[in-house]
Amino acid sequence: DSGVTQTPKHLITATGQRVTLRCSPRSGDLSVYWYQQSLDQGLQFLIQYYNGEERAKGNILERFSAQQFPDLHSELNLSSLELGDSALYFCASSVGNSRITGELFFGEGSRLTVL
Amino acid sequence: GQNIDQPTEMTATEGAIVQINCTYQTSGFNGLFWYQQHAGEAPTFLSYNVLDGLEEKGRFSSFLSRSKGYSYLLLKELQMKDSASYLCAVGNSGNTPLVFGKGTRLSVIA
């Protein structure tokens, strides 16, 4: 158990819909990262938050957004869903020194299926 | 930008030794990580190299050559439970998170 909690574990929805994925980082970790993993692409970095502020942005679509709340949990919002958005979405946390990348602790992931 | 290459698949026999290679091109290098990921599960940390040389941790060892942009993960005394994907990831200084390679799927056979 990494200490990172993600909900829901599985989600099935239809194209055009909107979903919210939730992540609670390890106690004491200030940084939260979101990654998308599909079969042919590997782990793709989406976005990072550090202590409530956006710190880095990767290949995140405009239809996707995220935030980190004062209690440090984070939500990833995916809207206008397309078939290609079906993937495993991982949240990871770290102690979060903003200048040095450290070991990441991953949650179990949220498997999104768009039909 | 960054480029990380590792073989897509490997097969090895139980009890044997396997070496999984990773080459990378990056700027501001700040360490190389190896993660293990069983199918459908979360990646878990295996090793971290920031200086050249070999880091040994039980049955697993990881090697880094910064001048060559090269690392390998060595798994000894392979067990069936070692069947998993092994992800090479590069850390960078500055506000950039880990960048992962596509992973090497290792199958351990009897």
Q: What is the pLDDT of residue A1?
A: 82
In tens, the pLDDT along A16-33 reads 999 999 999 999 899 999
A112 CA: distance to closest CA in chain B (Å): 12
Do B100 and A108 lie within an 8 Å CB cutoff? no
Closest CA in chain B for residue A33:
B97
Nearest C-alpha neighbor of A50 from the set A25, A20, A76: A25
A95 at interface of B, judged by CB pairs closer than 8 A: no
In tens, the pLDDT along B22-31 reads 999 987 788 9
Q: Distance between CA B26 and CA B99 in Å, rounded?
A: 10
- Termini Cα distance of chain B: 41
- The 8-class DSSP code of residue B7 comes to -
A110 at interface of B, judged by CB pairs closer than 8 A: no
Q: Distance between CA A20 and CA A26 in Å, rounded?
A: 20
pLDDT higher than threshold 50 for residue A99:
no
Q: Distance between CA A40 and CA A91 in Å, rounded?
A: 19
pLDDT higher than threshold 80 for residue A98:
no
Chain B residues inside the 8 Å CB shell of A88? 40
Question: Is B42 within 8 Å of A106 (Cβ atoms)?
Answer: yes
Of residues A101 and A81, more confidently modeled:
A81
Of A2, A4, A101, the CB nearest to B31: A101
The one-letter amino acid at B106: L
> Is A71 in a helix, a strand, or coil?
coil
Mean pLDDT, to the nearest integer, of A39-53?
89
Q: What is the pLDDT of residue A97?
A: 57
Do A100 and B97 lie within an 8 Å CB cutoff? no
Of residues B13 and A59, more confidently modeled:
B13
Do B87 and A107 lie within an 8 Å CB cutoff? no
Mean pLDDT, to the nearest integer, of B85-103?
86
